[in-house]
Structure 1
């Protein structure tokens, strides 16, 4: 009985409390995101698909991933602008439905330039969703619940990603790469249908409507630009887990697609199991948002250092665990910082710039990683990646110092 009480008070009760107090609209957004991301099997396997199915070199794959990132930048910028003009609801509905059709269509493109163009257009439409959903999330969340609301959305994303790669690897081995595109497109369309059904803006309850008579442009906010640079450097490190790291698993450790899928799926499972209570715990500590982001980036940096230090296959799992816990801290708190800062001006601009930081990382991170692997090998690529993480930490410390000098504490 004593053991049962300890388990309830120390594990079950805190886990349950981490989910309480969130609005039903946030839960609907999480479900929509889960349906959408559960089918996102293409992205983790894109580099493998392009090399094995389409026969491209690593250098060509790097340029295709650059087109991926450029499309993401354009889509996120346009999505932020449209969100401020026509509202987040219309932008989300358009992005989900049209990108679903495009995911199905892109598999029929062949040839380097056609695939570059197709991936660019696909991401331009798909990533219009990102700033819109962040603004919607801010509107549907009470101020004190924003970090946990962001975390719930991330939980949905990563639960989808934990299912996606695991099933994606099985689909590749039992069916074909083509099936991934069909699943991804279908789930995007299903998510758009659910959005139109359950989140009618006339019925949804707004909990934090921001009205700023003199909005500040995100593009003139110097402090936010320091934050932006730190995010780009962090993103450069993080995106390697979706391009060069799967190749490292395949070429150096000779893992199959299904084994790679299971390791990537571990990331989503750990986030599903631990992120909400972890965020609630860190919110109750005396650390600031920026300090929590720093801790997360340090853990991700260490995950790459381990890949250099040991050739033991088990280090892959340890590295993935470190990366995952780092991700669990860095993403929710950076997102919450951006949403809080966005109250100073045009929310669509601020949240677009937040998303663009990771789009820029996609442009340079994948390509640079691929070129380094091709020319200098995996170990030197991991040295570069760890160095970029260290630079990110430096910019975050500069951000922390600058925030202290501001009249209103936004940290």
Structure 2
């Protein structure tokens, strides 16, 4: 018992109060996140859209999210974290209800586009605020705890949504909008602004413009590109997996129970992951995560029963559990303080581009080449990601060390023939994260 108390104290102790308010808002919001889980089934069964049309609507959600993360990242740095979060949550709640009442394809598509814009505009602000308030030594724990809350809510939402859908799909939209409003209230009442003014760069260091900084940061952009590949695979569980299970004769409630295994496994094991991967090469962890995730999705090509689909979910969930905290801490270490919101926005943009492309590409591949080709292609992408992480990892670690040493973003300095220092082993080495 004493060992359990010690583990709990080591896992949750010492984190700032603002973090726990954000954590609570995340949990409440995810408990009501019914809509995205069942949107593909809702569009094909309730609205009578084809798989391609459903993929198009989900793609428009992603397009809106891409705009939202870009705008949200800029507002986060210029306007502030708190007002950006409040505006995004209030707008998201309104558009959630509007989408629930939309019927025609154009109206559903427009609703999805605007909902994606507001919902994803909050992501850079939330990520920047987490980095603002949590010291570097505690970020691995904090991001793991937040990811745990996301998936606890997701697991419960997936099961409850399956039964709520039987009472009427409109209920899903109403509950989702309500929990989003509750999160906005928590932020309004309990969370203060965390943005600070960044000090000037040291003498001899010439900072470049914000946009140019990001566009010339090849190390970070390659990291974002690898995440984009992973997101294209991962988001098939929202778009094409429910359709594949429906083709196998399985009900929406069965899909809800199967996909809930993802959240259940993360809730049961995610808090142990930081200790498991602590002290290990982040590049190796990310490469292993990519292989495991690719294998899990690849096996879906052979699934034809609920237990088999459940097994594939458990496998790719292990890859997700390894990937998320490593991604989250790398984003924090590779983001200059004065551009933190915009760097967070660019990373989130990879998720939104995948959100737009994954359902459309998945639907096209499935209709043109077949179900098996889609899932085996996911396995191939996982292997490509693994190689990419192994090759690009050393450069990422050198960049993280340089940012910690200099304290600013990518800089223009005179070329030096001196060798760059090797990346030291971080105290806690290892993130939307499920989205």
* TM-score, scaled relative to structure 2: 0.86
CA displacement at 1:116 relative to structure 2 = 1.3
Q: Quick check: 1:229–1:392 contact (8 Å CA) kept in 2?
A: no
Secondary structure of 1:127's counterpart equals helix
TM-fit CA distance, 1:280? 2.9
Q: Kindly state the Cα deviation for residue 188 of structure 1 after the two structures are TM-superposed.
A: 0.5
2:322 aligned residue: 329
- Distance apart, 1:348 and its partner CA: 1.0
CA change 1:321–1:15 in 2 (3 A) is farther
Which of the residues 246, 257, 263 maps onto 2:252? Answer: 257
Q: State the partner residue of 2:177.
A: 185
Q: Aligned pairs, how many?
A: 396
Deviation at 1:337, TM superposition (A): 0.2
Q: Equivalences for 1:83-162 in 2 at 5 Å?
A: 83-162=76-155
Change in CA separation of 1:313 and 1:169 when aligned onto 2, cut-off 3 Å:
closer
Distance 1:93 1:263 in 2: 33
Partner in structure 2 of residue 225 of structure 1: 221
Flag the 1:191–1:405 CA change in 2: closer, same or farther, 3 A: closer
Who is 1:27 aligned against? Answer: 20
Unaligned residue ranges in structure 1 (runs of 5+):
none
Q: Which moved more, 1:152-161 or 1:235-244?
A: 152-161
TM-score, normalization by structure 1: 0.91
Native 8 Å contact 2:55 2:239 kept in 1: no
Aligned residue in 1 for 2:267: 272
Change in Cα spacing, 1:250 to 1:58, as seen in structure 2 (3 Å) is same
Of residues 236, 239, 242, the one that matches 2:235 is 239
Give the CA deviation at 1:404: 6.2
Distance 1:311 1:178, change over 3 A: closer
Alignment-derived partner of residue 373 in structure 1:
366
1:55 equivalent among 38, 48, 55: 48
After TM superposition, the structure 1 stretch with the greater mean CA deviation from structure 2, 13-22 or 90-99, is 13-22
TM-fit CA distance, 1:17: 2.4
The verdict on how the C-alpha distance between 1:35 and 1:313 changes in structure 2, with shifts beyond 3 A counting, is closer
Aligned match of 1:350? 343
Distance 1:66 1:212, change over 3 A: farther
Gaps of 5+ in 2: 202-206, 400-419, 430-435
Q: CA deviation at 1:395?
A: 2.2
Q: Which moved more, 1:257-266 or 1:394-403?
A: 394-403
Cα deviation 1:4-31 (Å, max 9, x = unaligned)? x7xx64x664355222232221111110
Task: Tell me whether 180-189 or 328-337 shows the greater mean CA deviation.
Answer: 328-337
